[in-house]
Amino acid sequence: MGSIDAIEISLDNLLQEVSGKHRQGYRFVTMTCTDVGDGYDILYHFDKDYELFNLRLYLKKGEELPSISSIFFAALLAENEIKDLFGIPVKDLAIDYGGRFLLTEDAPAAPMGKGCSKSIDIRLQGAPEEEGK
Amino acid sequence: MPGSKSIIPFGPQHPVFPEPLQLRLVMEDEKVVEALPAIGYVHRGIEKLAEKKEYTQNIFLVERICGICSFMHALAYCQGIEELMAVTVPDRARYLRVIWSELHRLHSHLLWLGLLADSFGFESLFMQSWRSREAIMDIMEATAGGRVIISTCIIGGTRRDISDELLAGVLKTVDDLERELEIIRPVVFDDYSVKQRLVGVGRITQEQAHDLGAVGPVARACGIAMDFRTTGYSAYKEIKVSPVTETGGDAYARALVRVREMYQSIDIVRQAVRDIPAGDIAAPAKGNPEGEVISRVEQPRGEVVYYIKGDGTKHLERLRVRTPTFANMAPLLAMLPGCELANVPVIVLSIDPCISCTER
């Protein structure tokens, strides 16, 4: 199983590693979050001269994610998105949308999380709804 | 009262916005002091849906992230899956992908030019741009069967070929467009009223653009020579491409970059049609994707990033899409403070925003 090159980091050295990328002249590209059951696999993607540099952080469920928006301002949008879609608390955001960046008040909580009770109902148009749903 | 601040909710419905976007503008008289974007009006949960669909079905799904750059969404996705499954795309298909990509770039830039012209009341430029765009849509329909979402990209190559007769039609279309651009170009470059509305408006420095993660024409208008076509995906490694840059960093520089890029796209289409080899248009792809990969493509608005994670089944574990407008939102927030309220639509349109892309 192939995987992308990524340096494993922890909450202890996250801000230090990200600051290092900023000092080295990297551009912030985006963040990717995946719910892996008991925690989250969070990737920070940076670019310099078309080469991607990735940092990989494992975050346990219930833990708070420190924002990197004080270092890379652009990260605040990706962090607010992760906060909305995965329900991860993010602290020290440069602009905090309070979980309403993409989602409305009546949206399901953490829809990208594995524990989201709201499933996507894929049916052919006009097909009857299954009983019990 | 002089010096007092007020907040204007600009959008989500506004005559110049083609898609719903709200900017909460903190104003001091007519000047913008601060801007905060509010989005979420067209969030469709596409990344979640991609986990429910089979990986082959996702091609049609990602094309619907955005109609205007739909082919390049499919391309970025297919390239990622092909890398995971070690599929080698036939040479002819790589060239076909370039031709359809550049036709999409042309119609996207012409669409944008019309919208920008409309934002400052230049209706005849708006109509001329969209009239020219129609010819691109027509040749897209002739070669692919669809005008906007063409669904020709598949895992392993392309679904359709373009015959020699139709390739000649593609050449004629770009020749005609080039003649029309010769009329449009001096208007954008030299017209007094266009320059009055664009020069010095929404300016950011090269340092700001880099620091805020700008991509595409927004970055190139600040002198950043970054264009992912130069990395050589598809047939771009055989075709001469160099980033089109300007140094002004304002709305005018962004307009110049896109107009010059239309000439560049015409040149790329000509090279691709001239050099396209004969042969197969698709290679078989067997099995299911396993592992993770990042695929990047230069869309009309800049770099799109696809993160794909497969677990060996027909369903993906994760599909993450970072679109260029998402990256250009932070630079937009730096462009607005200090501008007049009347310039807000021009500045927003100058980044060529795609909100459907941004929200997915």
CA atoms within 13 A on the CB side of A104: 7
> Counting beta carbons within 10 angstroms of the beta carbon of residue B170, is it exposed (0 to 12), middle (13 to 18) or buried (19 or more)?
buried
Antiparallel, parallel or unpaired: β B31-38 and B153-154: unpaired
Per-residue pLDDT of chain B (360 residues), as tens digits, is 566 888 988 888 888 787 888 888 999 888 999 888 888 888 888 999 899 899 999 999 999 998 888 999 999 999 999 999 999 999 999 999 999 999 999 999 999 999 999 888 898 999 999 999 999 999 999 999 999 899 999 999 999 999 999 999 999 999 999 999 999 999 989 999 999 999 999 999 999 999 999 999 999 999 999 999 999 999 999 998 999 999 999 999 999 999 999 999 999 999 999 999 999 999 998 889 999 999 999 999 999 999 999 999 999 999 999 999 999 999 999 999 999 998 999 999 999 888 888 878
Q: Judge whether residue A121 has pLDDT over 70.
A: no
Q: Is residue A105 part of a domain?
A: no
Quote the number of domains for chain B: 1
CB A88 within 8 A of CB A11: no
**Contact assignment for A120 to B45 by CB distance below 8 Å:** yes
Torsions phi, psi for B26 (to 5 deg): -85, 120
Q: Which residues contact B319 (CB under 8 A, 6 or more apart)?
A: B47, B50, B51, B58, B62, B77, B306, B307, B308, B309
Q: List the one residue out of A8, A61, A6 whose CA is nearest residue A37.
A: A61
Antiparallel, parallel or unpaired: β A7-9 and A51-60: parallel
SS3 content of chain B, % helix, strand, coil (to 5): 50, 15, 35
Q: Tens digit of pLDDT for each residue in A34-74?
A: 999 899 999 999 999 999 999 999 999 989 999 999 999 99
Q: Is residue B258 part of a domain?
A: yes
3-state secondary structure of A46: strand
Q: Is residue B281 part of a domain?
A: yes
C-alpha dihedral sign at B48, B52, B58, B60: negative
Amino acid found at B265: S
Tokens (6 digits) for A90: 């993010």
Mutate to test the interface with B, among A52, A81, A106, A118 (most CBs of B within 10 A): A81
Question: What pLDDT shows up at residue A117?
Answer: 60
Q: Judge whether residue A124 has pLDDT over 70.
A: no
B276: domain range?
Answer: 45-359
Question: What pLDDT shows up at residue A110?
Answer: 84
Q: Is residue B15 part of a domain?
A: no
Q: Judge whether residue A131 has pLDDT over 60.
A: no
Mutate to test the interface with A, among B308, B322, B326, B351 (most CBs of A within 10 A): B322
CATH of the domain at A13: 3.30.460.80
Confidence of residue A99 (pLDDT cuts 50, 70, 90): confident
Q: Is residue B14 part of a domain?
A: no
**Contact assignment for B40 to A73 by CB distance below 8 Å:** no
Q: Is residue B149 part of a domain?
A: yes
Would you tell me which residues 312-331 of chain B have a C-beta closer than 8 angstroms to some C-beta of chain A? 312, 317-318, 320, 322, 326-327, 329-330
Distance from CA of B290 to the nearest CA of A (A): 6
A59: domain range?
Answer: 7-91
Q: Is residue B85 part of a domain?
A: yes
Q: Judge whether residue A18 has pLDDT over 70.
A: yes
Whether the CB of B53 is below 8 Å from some CB of chain A: the reply is yes
Q: Judge whether residue A132 has pLDDT over 50.
A: no
Mutate to test the interface with A, among B237, B288, B292 (most CBs of A within 10 A): B292
Q: In chain A, what residues touch B47 (CB-CB under 8 Å)?
A: 85, 112
Distance from CA of B323 to the nearest CA of A (A): 10
Q: Judge whether residue A128 has pLDDT over 80.
A: no
Q: Is residue A118 part of a domain?
A: no
**Contact assignment for A50 to B228 by CB distance below 8 Å:** yes
Q: Is residue B26 part of a domain?
A: no
Question: What pLDDT shows up at residue A133?
Answer: 45
Q: In chain A, what residues touch B226 (CB-CB under 8 Å)?
A: 50
Mutate to test the interface with B, among A32, A69, A96, A103 (most CBs of B within 10 A): A32
Q: Tens digit of pLDDT for each residue in B124-168?
A: 999 999 999 999 999 999 999 999 899 999 999 999 999 999 999
Interface residues of A toward B, Cβ cutoff 8 Å, are: 1-4, 25, 27-30, 32-34, 43, 45, 50, 52, 72-74, 76-78, 85, 95, 100-104, 111-112, 120, 122
Q: Which residue of A has its CA nearest to B215?
A: A29
Quote the number of domains for chain A: 1
Question: What pLDDT shows up at residue A127?
Answer: 65
Q: Is residue B33 part of a domain?
A: no
